[in-house]
Amino acid sequence: MHRRLAVAIAVLALGGCEQSHTVGRDWHKIEPPAAAPEFSLQQLDGGTVSLSGLRGKIVIMEFWATWCGPCRFSLPSLEVIYRQYRDRGAVVLLANQDEAPEQIRTWAAKRFTAPILLDTDGRVALQYRTSGIPHLLIINKDGQIIYEHDGYGGGLERSLELILEELLPQQAPTHV
């Protein structure tokens, strides 16, 4: 009995190690990549962001709302990714769906430095065929959608790190 338990634990441990080196099964790789629709959206705190203005960068865009439970788990992970990769050519855009700026500002309360965009009429979400939230897309440097992810099931940061490490140039080592 103890031997079976030890074997079962070893199998689970090895499976867990293998999982940590692969993107989660809940990610959908778009093959061939699809052209991302152009958009221009107002930022929560002023200015506009357009997809064409981000050409040459990896864009991670999530459609979300303050009332969405799973979004409350994914947004802090996206903030971590934004801070970790913004100097390497990745941009995280948090595209809010149909909510008033005051409501978003109160809920976010300066917790996020990633740009919060206002898709007030849901037009951009429709262009991106968003049927539920959170809905995350990764757009490559050429403006093509290469990954999609719906919902939140944990492991978001790890999967994004694996994808970004593959897509972005390695940082030069810093000398102390």
The per-residue pLDDT for range 62-114, each reduced to its tens digit, is: 999 999 999 999 999 999 999 999 999 999 999 999 999 999 999 998 899 99
Q: Does some domain include residue 176?
A: no
> When comparing pLDDT for 174 and 54, which is higher?
54
24 CB-near residues (< 8 Å, 6+ apart) = 153, 155, 158, 159
Range of the domain at 140: 23-167
Alpha carbon 73 to its chain's center = 12
Domain count across the chain = 1
Q: Does some domain include residue 6?
A: no
Q: Does some domain include residue 172?
A: no
The per-residue pLDDT for range 114-164, each reduced to its tens digit, is: 999 999 999 999 999 999 999 999 999 999 999 999 998 888 999 999 999
- CATH of residue 150's domain is 3.40.30.10
| Separation of alpha carbons 21 and 32, rounded Å | 23
| Separation of alpha carbons 140 and 166, rounded Å | 11
Q: Does some domain include residue 15?
A: no
Q: Does some domain include residue 5?
A: no
3-class DSSP string for 5-58: HHHHHHHHHHHHHHHCCCCCCCEEEEEEEEECCCCEEEECCCCEEECHHHCCCE
Percent pLDDT > 70 in the chain is 85
User: What is the DSSP code (8-state) at residue 117?
Assistant: E
pLDDT of residue 4: 47
Considering the entire predicted model, what is its pTM? 0.83
